[in-house]
């Protein structure tokens, strides 16, 4: 221990040894070759870390940065051992020389361990050729992706156009059909009036049937016309669903009383929506919930809204006849009905309307049901609705 303390106290001391020139028999040539070579190595070992440092300061995001720093220290200290070897020819600071060699040894082994440790990581680094190949691969994938995307956009535009054409056709056809149906109905009514006394019972039944059929046709045509109108001249506004539901109940008062239906609605939110369409949606679902009741059972209907992160989810449950699993998608298709009009009056348009209205709001509609126990119709309305007129997003509350 005394030796160690003495070593550090006399670290720069030179009294114990002669300068190296006087130690042994150096010729001038031999001595200077030694000195110049050591200084040359030190000079290079001093400049290399500077160049690495310069590189590090200019190049951002380099991997394995700690290895670079260790290399800088390693090269600097190696250089320092050569520098001290050269000056020892005049200044025999052998203690300082030993200390520098000791530090150099430590740093050298730290570098060895670090290199062993990072070798697997370093092997994963890509060469520039590998980078280029990867880049080319990604460019190819990106190109293919953009082409596929363009194709999808193009196809969906064509689909949209075809849908519009189809809707227009349905609208014009149903509009034009209104007139002949009206005429037939009027003529049948005149016929019924004029032949009241002369027609046989059987013939009179036929006239009644014909009138009922034209009435049904009129309803179908009106339904089609309404379907085509959904979303036309629309404008988003804040809708208080509580108020909206109240006004639907008022309109359905007679039906509710007739069926003795019990309807419970939880507090509903104020949302951004297309008011006329939203009203029609609630009305259709509530009317269905009352209409498709189990015979002899008091209809019980509940209306709820759940606040999800980016949408409102509404549900309208009933204790009616329910729907079999296999029909859960079919019922949303226009004119698709599961019952004869004798069993349940209707046109098969209501749920198609609902689906179209929900799609207009960018939401979803679906049903869960147990036959003979009841159904729950769910629909979601996003809190951000893309307004088709302005292509802007509007926040819903």
Instruction: Return the number of the residue (72 or 349) whose C-beta is nearest ligand ADP.
Output: 349
Q: Which residues pair with 264 in a beta bridge?
A: 302
338 sits near ligand ADP (criterion: CB under 6 A) = yes
Region binding ligand ADP by CB under 6 A among candidate stretches 19-27, 70-78, 178-186, 287-295: 287-295
What are the structure tokens assigned to 244, written together?
């909206």
288 sits near ligand ADP (criterion: CB under 6 A) = yes
Instruction: Return the number of the residue (333 or 384) whose C-beta is nearest ligand ADP.
Output: 333
Neighbours of 20 (CB within 10 A): 20
347 sits near ligand ADP (criterion: CB under 6 A) = yes
Region binding ligand ADP by CB under 6 A among candidate stretches 36-44, 64-72, 171-179, 348-356: 348-356
3-state secondary structure of 1: coil
Neighbours of 48 (CB within 10 A): 16
- CB 185, CB 215: distance < 8 Å: yes
- Of 94, 79, 96, 71, give the one whose Cα is nearest residue 39: 79
217 sits near ligand ADP (criterion: CB under 6 A) = no
Neighbours of 317 (CB within 10 A): 19
Binding test (CB under 6 A) with ligand ADP, winner from 339, 386, 392, 393 = 339
| Helix, strand, coil percent content, the chain, rounded in steps of 5 | 60, 15, 25
218 sits near ligand ADP (criterion: CB under 6 A) = no
- CB 318, CB 300: distance < 8 Å: yes
Binding test (CB under 6 A) with ligand ADP, winner from 265, 351, 358, 385 = 351
Region binding ligand ADP by CB under 6 A among candidate stretches 47-55, 123-131, 187-195, 332-340: 332-340
Largest CA distance in the chain: 154
Instruction: Return the number of the residue (272 or 331) whose C-beta is nearest ligand ADP.
Output: 331
Helix (H) or strand (E) holding 394: strand 392-395
Binding test (CB under 6 A) with ligand ADP, winner from 244, 321, 358, 381 = 321
- Of 165, 205, 167, give the one whose Cα is nearest residue 188: 205
What minimum distance in Å lies between the beta carbon of 381 and ligand ADP?
19
What are the structure tokens assigned to 149, written together?
């995307």
Binding test (CB under 6 A) with ligand ADP, winner from 45, 274, 292, 312 = 292
Residues in the chain: 397
What minimum distance in Å lies between the beta carbon of 212 and ligand ADP?
16
What minimum distance in Å lies between the beta carbon of 163 and ligand ADP?
19
What minimum distance in Å lies between the beta carbon of 273 and ligand ADP?
20
DSSP state letter for 127: P
Give the position of tokens 């196809």. 155
User: CA 300: distance to chain centroid?
Assistant: 38
Region binding ligand ADP by CB under 6 A among candidate stretches 44-52, 229-237, 260-268, 343-351: 343-351
Region binding ligand ADP by CB under 6 A among candidate stretches 110-118, 194-202, 303-311, 342-350: 342-350
Instruction: Return the number of the residue (61 or 295) whose C-beta is nearest ligand ADP.
Output: 295
39 sits near ligand ADP (criterion: CB under 6 A) = no
What are the structure tokens assigned to 148, written together?
């596929």
319 sits near ligand ADP (criterion: CB under 6 A) = no
What minimum distance in Å lies between the beta carbon of 344 and ligand ADP?
6
375 sits near ligand ADP (criterion: CB under 6 A) = yes
346 sits near ligand ADP (criterion: CB under 6 A) = yes
Which residues fall within 8 angstroms of residue 219, CB to CB, at 6 or more apart?
347
Nearest-angstrom CA–CA distance, 142 and 252: 56
Q: Which residues pair with 53 in a beta bridge?
A: none
318 sits near ligand ADP (criterion: CB under 6 A) = yes
Footprint on this chain of ligand ADP (rule: CB under 6 A): 284, 288-289, 292, 318, 320-323, 331, 337-339, 346-352, 375
């Amino acid at each position: 221990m005394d030796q160690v303390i003495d070593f550090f106290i006399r670290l720069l001391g030179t009294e114990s040894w002669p300068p190296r020139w006087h130690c042994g028999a150096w010729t001038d040539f031999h001595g200077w070759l030694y000195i110049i070579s050591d200084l040359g190595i030190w000079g290079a070992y001093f400049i290399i870390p500077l160049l690495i440092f310069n590189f590090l300061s200019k190049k951002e995001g380099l991997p394995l940065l700690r290895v670079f720093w260790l290399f800088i220290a390693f090269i600097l200290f190696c250089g320092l051992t050569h520098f001290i070897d050269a000056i020892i020819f005049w200044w025999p600071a052998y203690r300082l020389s030993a200390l520098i060699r000791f530090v150099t040894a430590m740093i050298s082994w730290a570098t060895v361990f670090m290199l062993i440790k990072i070798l697997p990581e370093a092997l994963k680094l890509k060469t520039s050729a590998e980078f280029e190949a990867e880049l080319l691969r990604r460019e190819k994938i990106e190109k293919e992706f953009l082409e596929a995307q363009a194709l999808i956009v193009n196809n969906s535009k064509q689909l949209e156009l075809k849908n519009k054409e189809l809707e227009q056709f349905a609208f014009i056809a149903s509009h034009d059909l209104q007139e002949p149906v009206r005429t037939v109905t009027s003529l049948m009514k005149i016929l019924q009036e004029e032949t009241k006394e002369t027609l046989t019972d059987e013939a009179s039944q036929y006239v009644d049937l014909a009138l009922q059929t034209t009435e049904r046709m009129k309803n179908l045509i009106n339904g089609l016309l309404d379907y085509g109108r959904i979303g036309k001249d629309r404008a988003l506004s804040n809708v208080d669903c509580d108020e909206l539901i109240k006004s639907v109940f008022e309109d359905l008062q007679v039906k509710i009383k007739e069926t003795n239906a019990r309807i419970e609605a939880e507090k509903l939110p104020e949302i951004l929506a297309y008011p006329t369409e939203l009203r029609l949606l609630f009305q259709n679902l509530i009317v269905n919930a009352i209409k498709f009741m189990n015979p002899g059972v008091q209809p019980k209907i509940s209306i709820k809204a759940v606040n999800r992160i980016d949408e409102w989810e509404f549900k309208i449950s009933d204790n009616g006849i329910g729907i079999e699993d296999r029909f859960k998608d079919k019922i949303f298709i226009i004119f698709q009905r599961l019952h004869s009009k004798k069993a349940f009056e209707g046109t098969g348009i209501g749920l198609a309307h609902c689906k179209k209205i929900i799609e207009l709001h960018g939401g979803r509609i679906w049903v869960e049901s147990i036959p003979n126990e009841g159904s729950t119709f769910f629909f979601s309305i996003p809190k951000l609705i893309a307004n088709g007129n302005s292509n802007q997003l509007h926040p819903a509350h």
